[in-house]
Structure 1
Amino acid sequence: MTSAQRATDTTTSTIGTTGARRRRGTAALAAASFLLLAGLGIAAAPASYAGTPGGTQANDRNSDFDGDGYDDVLIGAPDGTVDGKKGAGFVTVQYGAANGIGAGNSVPKARTAVFSQSTNGVPGTSETYDSFGAAVATGDLDGDGYDDAVVAAPGEDVGSLEDAGRVTVLYGSRSGLGPARSVTFASAAPAAGARFGAAVTAARLTGDTPADVVAVLDQQGAQLFTYSGGALHHTGTLDTTAHPAGRAIRPAYVTTGDYDRDGYADLVVSGYSPDDDYTQGWSAVYSGGAHGLTHLRDLRGGISTASGDIDNDGYDDLVTGQNSSPDDEAEGLTGGLVGVYYGGEDGPEGQDGPGSAPRWWTQNSPGVPGTGEHGDAWGTELSVGDSDGDGYADVAVGAPGEDIGTVSDAGAVWLLRGSADGLTATGAQSFDQNTPGIPGTAEMDDTWGAQVRLADTDADGRSELLAAAPGEDTADGVVWHLPAGTKGLVADGSWLFGASALGAPGGDARFGAAVDE
C-alpha cells in the first residue's frame, strides 16, 4: 500500500499535546494481537447515571467519552516512538458524530486526540518499551456519566522492577478525554516481569461503589480497582493460576457481560490451562452481584472473548474464539474456531446446559465463506454489535493468519449474523484487503483483522467495523473503517487511516494493536 492510499492527515496535534475534542466509552477487553501471552474480596460498580447516554449499566458496551451519544474509538499503538523512546507507545481517540469518525480517507482534525506519557498532565514519563497502549478499555470509573479511558503499559518498570506494568486512566467529560485528572496505578504487589495490564476491562460488577470496577490482568490473574476520593484503590484479586474452585488458567483475555440479567456485569477471564499443557483454552466465569463476585463455573474452549445479546432475549451471550483448533489437523476444525455460550438465568451455558460445550463455528461450517486452513488463526479477535439494526447482535471474527491467494498471513475478517435462534451463517460475510471496494492490497504479514471492533460512531443504530492491521506497512499499522447498511457491512465506501493521519508518529508503531471493544 502506498502512502497516497492512507487517510489524509488533517490533524496537526503532536504526541505531546491533545487534539481539540473528545468523548466517552464503556466495558471492554484488550490484549495481544496475534500470538497470545498470559477466593475473592471484591468491590463493585455503580447504579446507572441518569441523563447521559454513557454510564454504568451492566451491559453498557459503547465508548462515549463526552456523553454526546456517539460511540468514540480508542486505539493503541504500543510500539510507537515518543520523544525518541522506541516502544514507549501512545493512544489515539476519535470522537463519533453525525457523520461518524470520518469518510473518504479523511479524518476530521477537530475530532481527534493523541495521548502518551509525554502529554502534559498525563502521569509518568515515556520510556523505551513501556508499551503504553498495549491494552485499552473504557468505563465510567467515577460515576459522572462520562466514560473514561483505561490505558495499560505492561512494559512499564515500577521502581527497579522491570516490566512490572502500570495502568493510566484518562477521565471523560463534556469536552471529552483530558489529562487534567488522569491517574496512574500499579499492581497491589508489583513484580518484575508480571506485565500488569496485559489486558483490561471495566464494568458494573457490584453494587458496592458508585462507578465501574476496573479489572486488570497480569501473569497470575485479575486485580480489581474501584474509584474513591479521586483515586483508584485495590479491592480484590482473582488468582486464576491457583484456582481452588476450578481449573488453573494463565490469563490472556478478559470480557464482561450481564449473562444472567441481574443488573450486574459478570467477569470472564480466559487463557490457556497448564492442566492441558497449554493446548486448550478455558474461561473462568465470575458472577457479579450486589456485594461482589462469585466464581460460577469454568468453560472449556476459546481464548479470545467478547459479549453481546446475539438472540435478543435480554441476556448477554459469551462468544469465545480459539485461534488454533484443539486438533489443528482434524477435519472441520482446522484453522481456528468460534463458540457461543448463551446467557440465561444461570449465566452462560453450552448447548446442553451449564457444563456442556458451546455451538462451535469454523470456516468449514455450512454457510460460512472460505475454507479453514492450518494457521489461519480464525477467532483470534472478536467483537459483538448490531451491524444491520435488526436488534440482534452480530459477531465480527478476525483471522490475521489467513492467506489471501499466495500471500501468507495477509489476514481477513468475517461477520456472522445474530437471530432469534442465535448465531447463524445465513448472510455471513467475509472481507480482506483484496475485496472490491476496500482500499489497499493484501501483503504478507499484514495481519489484517488482528483487532476488530463493531462501533456505531454515527448513532444510526448500525455498527460499522474497524479492522486493524498492525503489521501493515512494515509494522506501522493501519486501521480500516467499513460502513454498515441494512444488510450488514459494506465494502463500498470503506476507507483507512494510520497514526500519522491523527497527528501521531506512525513509524513502526503497530498502530491498531489494541482497539477498545
Structure 2
Amino acid sequence: GTQYCRGGGFGSCEGEVPPRPERCNALDDDCDGTPDDDDVCEVEELALQGGLDDDTDVDGDGMADACACSDGRIECHLASGHGFERTLAGPDYEVAGFDDFSRFSTLRFGDLDGDGRADVCLRERDGVYCWTSDGAGFPRQLLGPELSDDAGFDRAPYFTSVRLADVDGDGRRDLCARQADGLHCWISTGRGFEEGPRIPDLADARGFSAVEHYGTLRMGDLDGDGRDDVCARDAEGVLCWRSTGRAFTRVILGPRWSDADGFDRLELWSTMRLADVDGDGRADLCARTPSGFECHPSNGRGFDAPWLGPRLAAADGWDDKSHYATLRMADVDGDEALDLCGRGRGGITCWSFSGRAFDRVIEGPSLSDAAGWTEPSWFRTIRLADVDADGRADLCARNDEGLRCWRSEGSGFPVVLFGPAWREGWDAPERFATIRVAGGFARSETPDPVDPDMPLPDPEGGCRCATSDAPRSFALSLLFLFALTRRRPLP
C-alpha cells in the first residue's frame, strides 16, 4: 500500500504516519487507498445535524432555552426574552468515550411526562438514560431502552436513528430507534418506557442498512390525528407509515425521490424534512431536489403537488456542506406557516411561505463565508427557535465569541441577544454539536382526523363524492327542526 510520511527524501521516510480511523477530511486516514470511504462523511452529517426536531423549553415558559453538554454535565441557560441570564444545571454523564459520535450525537430534548417542560435523554454505553425537568433542575431519572454498545447501538445505522416523538398522541414524547429488524418504539408512561409499535419494513434486509436510506428517517403527524407517523426514503422514493397508537399501518407513497434521480447524494437526501408548512396540523415533506427546494403538502392519505422554493443551485454554492447543512424551517414572520432559512456565501437568507410558494425574501444576519462561517463549529450550530415567545422564530448560532441570537421582527433580524460564552474548547464536535436551541414554533389546532377510506379528489378533473360528518350532522339538524314544526299542538 501507500506509505505516508511527514518528511524525508528519495527512498527515505521520516515521521511515518500510521493508519488511523477514517474521517471526513478528503484524506486516506486508514491507508486503504480510498479517502473518505466507509460512509464517514454521511455519518458525520447525521451525527452533527443537532436534534432538529428537539424542544428545549425546559422551564415551560414558552421560550426556547439554550442547552449543551459541557465537561460531564448537561447545562441549560434559560431564555428571558432579553438574553439567557439564569443557568439550570442538568444531569451528569460519563466523560470517558463521550467524544464518540454514538454518544454525544444522541442527545435529545422533548416533553416525556406531559407537563409542558422539555426533558432530556442521552445514550450511554449501557443504554438510554432520561431525566425529567421540574423547571429548576432535572431531579428524576428515567431508565430508557437498553440501546447499549453490546446491542450494536455504537453502530451508525442504529444510533443515528434515535428519536423522541409522540406516536400515541398522549402528549408525552416516546422514544424510537431503528434496529437490524426494523424501527422499534417505546411508549413513555411519564415514569418509564413500555414496548410499543414497530415497523419491520425499515429493517436492514429491506435496504435500510444503506446510509442514504436509514439517514432519511423522519417523524411527524401526517394526518392530523395527534400521533406522530414515520417516513423514510428507499431506493424508489419516500414511504410513510401512519400510527394508530398501537401499530404503524397503511403504507403511504411519498414523493418519488429515488436513487436513480440523484437522491442518493448526501447534499440532497440529508435535507429531507417532515414539518407542517401551512399550519393545517399535518406534516408535509420537504427537501432540496436537483431542481430546487420543494415541499409536498400532506392531505392525510398522500401528498399533493409541491410548493416550490428557491433554486439553491450548485452553481451558487449550495452543494457545499457549509451551505446545504444549514437549511432550517420555522415560522420567522409569525403567520403560523413555516419559512425556509439557510446560509449562503453572503450570509443568512430566509424565504417566507405565502401559502403556495416560498416567494418572499427576508435577509438574515451576515454569517458569510468571508466572515469565517465555513468553520464547522460555527455553521453547524445555526438554529431557529423562538427565544422571546413572540410567535416568531429567532436565529441563533455560535462563533468564537459564544452563542448569539438575532431576534426576528418578521421582516429582518435587527436585535442581537447575547447567550452563553461557549468559546474556548467549543470547537470540539462533542461540544458544539450538542448545542440545542429549539422550540417555540407556532402550533396550529389539531384538525379532524382524516378518514383513510374517504376517496381523494380526482386529479384528472371532476369530483368524487364522499359523505362527511359535517354535512350529515347538518342534514339531521334540518330533519329535527322539520319534525318539530310538524308536531300537533297540545289540546
Q: Is the shorter-chain TM-score for this pair beyond 0.5, marking a shared fold? A: yes
Q: Quote the Cα distance in structure 2 between the aligned partners of 1:309 and 1:260.
A: 11
Q: What residue ranges of structure 1 are gaps of 5+ in the alignment? A: 1-30, 39-59, 83-89, 119-124, 159-165, 277-281, 326-332, 352-357, 405-411
For the pair 1:139 / 2:102, whether they are aligned, the reply is no
Report the equivalent of 1:186.
146
Q: CA RMSD in A?
A: 4.1
Aligned length: 376
Report the equivalent of 1:22.
none
Q: What residue ranges of structure 2 are gaps of 5+ in the alignment? A: 1-40, 258-262, 264-268, 439-491
Question: If you compute each CA radius of gyration, which structure gives the higher value, 1 or 2?
Answer: 2
Question: Aligned in 2, Cα 1:321/1:426: closer, same or farther, shift over 3 Å?
Answer: same
Report the equivalent of 2:298.
343
Report the equivalent of 2:63.
70
Question: Aligned in 2, Cα 1:200/1:462: closer, same or farther, shift over 3 Å?
Answer: same
> Could you list the per-position Cα deviations for residues 48-67 of structure 1 after superposition, in whole angstroms to 9, with x for gaps in the alignment?
xxxxxxxxxxxx97542222
Under a length normalisation based on structure 1, what TM-score does the superposition of the two structures give? Answer: 0.60
For the pair 1:419 / 2:354, whether they are aligned, the reply is yes
Alignment of 1:198-213 (within 5 A): 198-207=160-169, 211-213=172-174
Report the equivalent of 1:511.
431
SS at match of 2:432: coil
The alpha carbon displacement at 1:451 in A equals: 4.2
Q: Quote the Cα distance in structure 2 between the aligned partners of 1:375 and 1:507.
A: 20
The alpha carbon displacement at 1:464 in A equals: 0.6
- Sequence identity percentage: 17
The alpha carbon displacement at 1:230 in A equals: 2.9
- Contact 1:455–1:463, Cα closer than 8 Å, also in 2: yes
SS at match of 1:113: strand
Report the equivalent of 1:252.
215
For the pair 1:486 / 2:410, whether they are aligned, the reply is yes
Alignment of 1:446-465 (within 5 A): 446=376, 448-465=378-395
Q: Quote the Cα distance in structure 1 between the aligned partners of 2:183 and 2:241.
A: 11
SS at match of 1:186: coil
Report the equivalent of 2:312.
363
Q: Quote the Cα distance in structure 2 between the aligned partners of 1:254 and 1:92.
A: 28
Alignment of 1:30-429 (within 5 A): 35-36=45-46, 62-75=55-68, 77=69, 82=72, 91-99=74-82, 102=83, 107-108=84-85, 110-118=86-94, 126-127=96-97, 129-131=99-101, 132-152=103-123, 156=125, 158=126, 166-175=127-136, 177-187=137-147, 190-191=151-152, 193-195=154-156, 196-207=158-169, 211-217=172-178, 222-228=183-189, 230-239=191-200, 240-242=202-204, 250-269=213-232, 275=235, 283-294=238-249, 295-299=251-255, 300=257, 301=263, 302-321=269-288, 338-351=293-306, 359=308, 361-364=310-313, 371-372=316-317, 374-376=319-321, 378-398=323-343, 412-421=347-356, 423-429=357-363
- Contact 2:56–2:66, Cα closer than 8 Å, also in 1: yes
- Contact 1:257–1:267, Cα closer than 8 Å, also in 2: yes
For the pair 1:499 / 2:422, whether they are aligned, the reply is yes
Question: Aligned in 2, Cα 1:507/1:308: closer, same or farther, shift over 3 Å?
Answer: closer
Q: Quote the Cα distance in structure 1 between the aligned partners of 2:243 and 2:276.
A: 17
- Contact 1:246–1:298, Cα closer than 8 Å, also in 2: no
Q: Quote the Cα distance in structure 1 between the aligned partners of 2:145 and 2:288.
A: 30
- Contact 1:200–1:254, Cα closer than 8 Å, also in 2: no
Which residue identity is paired with 1:291?
Answer: R
Which residue identity is paired with 2:128?
Answer: V
The alpha carbon displacement at 1:395 in A equals: 2.0
The alpha carbon displacement at 1:211 in A equals: 2.9
Q: Quote the Cα distance in structure 1 between the aligned partners of 2:203 and 2:110.
A: 26
> Could you list the per-position Cα deviations for residues 371-400 of structure 1 after superposition, in whole angstroms to 9, with x for gaps in the alignment?
2354356432443221122232212235xx
The alpha carbon displacement at 1:487 in A equals: 1.1
The alpha carbon displacement at 1:171 in A equals: 0.8
Q: Quote the Cα distance in structure 2 between the aligned partners of 1:181 and 1:262.
A: 30
Q: Quote the Cα distance in structure 1 between the aligned partners of 2:412 and 2:209.
A: 38
The alpha carbon displacement at 1:499 in A equals: 2.9
Question: Aligned in 2, Cα 1:173/1:34: closer, same or farther, shift over 3 Å?
Answer: same
Bigger share in helix:
2
SS at match of 2:130: strand
The alpha carbon displacement at 1:320 in A equals: 2.6
Q: Quote the Cα distance in structure 1 between the aligned partners of 2:295 and 2:209.
A: 20
Which residue identity is paired with 1:466?
Answer: C
The alpha carbon displacement at 1:145 in A equals: 3.8
Q: Quote the Cα distance in structure 2 between the aligned partners of 1:413 and 1:454.
A: 12
Question: Aligned in 2, Cα 1:33/1:194: closer, same or farther, shift over 3 Å?
Answer: closer
Report the equivalent of 2:396.
466
- Contact 2:153–2:159, Cα closer than 8 Å, also in 1: no
SS at match of 1:35: helix
- Contact 2:198–2:247, Cα closer than 8 Å, also in 1: no
Which residue identity is paired with 1:135?
Answer: T
Which structure exhibits the higher relative contact order, with contacts defined as CA atoms closer than 8 Å and separated by 6 or more residues? 1
The alpha carbon displacement at 1:203 in A equals: 2.5
The alpha carbon displacement at 1:489 in A equals: 3.1
> Could you list the per-position Cα deviations for residues 467-514 of structure 1 after superposition, in whole angstroms to 9, with x for gaps in the alignment?
35xxx66xxx95442211031433x5255654369xxx6463553314
SS at match of 2:162: strand
Q: Quote the Cα distance in structure 2 between the aligned partners of 1:231 and 1:314.
A: 28
Question: Aligned in 2, Cα 1:444/1:261: closer, same or farther, shift over 3 Å?
Answer: closer
Q: Quote the Cα distance in structure 2 between the aligned partners of 1:72 and 1:219.
A: 35
Which residue identity is paired with 2:111?
Answer: D
